Structure 1
Amino acid sequence: MLGASMLAHPLLAGAGTDPTPITVWKNPDCGCCHEWVAHLRKNGFEVITHDVNDTAPIRQKLGLPAKFGSCHTASLGNYVIEGHVPAQELRRLLREKPKARGLAVPGMPVGSPGMEVGNTRDAYDVLLVLTDGSSRIYQSYSQSPSSKSSVKS
C-alpha cells in the first residue's frame, strides 16, 4: 500500500492515469526552453515539442497578445501557455477551467521553472490572460531572500 507521502509525489500520484498532453513551440537552441520542458515531463505531462526559430507567429495564431510574450509557447487543451509557467499552475488551470485564453509568465524571471540559477529567485506573477486580451494575477511567486531587489515594470 502506498503511503500518503508517496501519493504526493507527482509521478506516483498519476500512476495508472494517462499523462496530460501539452504541445510546446520553442527555439531549438534555447536552454531554458529545454529545462521548462524537462520540468513539465518531471511533473507528469506528455510533452510534444516543435522547434521553431520564432514563436511570435504561433502566439498570434493561438490568439495570445504579443505583450505576454516569452521564449516558448504551448497549447494545453483549449488554453495557450506562454513562458515559464510552473506545472502546478497548469494543473490548477485544468482543475478550475476558467473562461480565459490561458496563462503567461512574460519575460524570463530568474527562479521560475527552467530559469533556475542557484538559490536566486525573482518575484514574478503568473497571469491569467482573459479572452478579451486583458489579464489578472493568477498566482504570485515571491523573491528569495538571496535575490537582489529589482523593480518590476
Structure 2
Amino acid sequence: MTTYDLIDEAVIDAPADAVWDALLAEFRGAQKWWVPANTFTTISGSPDEVGGKVGVTVHTKGSDKGGLKLRFTSRTVAVEPGRRLDIEYVDGVFRGPSTFRLDPLPDGRTRISMHFVGTPHGWLKLLSKVADLGAEHSKGTLAAFESLGRQLSAVPR
C-alpha cells in the first residue's frame, strides 16, 4: 500500500498571525491563494476547532477547468492557535494525519510547513501505482505557499 509522508515548507514575509488568519480563511472557503489547485469548504464546525470538518477538492487541471477532481474530508484533531493545526483525513480519496505548523522567525517572517501523511483510497489507490501523487502534492502545496507569500507581502504592515 502506498503512503505518502511529505513535508513542504516556505518562508512567508509576514508575521505568524497574518499567516494563521490567511490559512484559516482559505479553509473556510476564501479561495485566495490555494486556487487553482485546491478549494476548501467548511462542512461543520470551524477549521480551528477540534472536530471541525473541511471538504477538500484537488483540481488536477485547475479549478476553472475540467480534469480529475480528488475529494476528501479533513477533521481538526488539535489546535495551537497561531502556531499549529493538526488534521486527519477521514473520508474520500485520502486517509491519514497532517499538520500545518507556523514558526515565527526573528526577522518578522514566518516559516509555514505542511506535514502530509496520506494513504490513497478507492480509485486513487490504482492511480497511485502509475502517477507520482507525492510529487504532484508537493508541487501544488509549494505553489500555494508561494501564492500566499505574494498575497501577504502586498499587504502593508
Structure showing greater relative contact order (alpha-carbon pairs closer than 8 Å, 6 or more residues apart): 2
Greater strand fraction, Structure 1 or Structure 2: 2
TM-score, normalised to structure 2's length? 0.27
TM-score by length of 1: 0.28
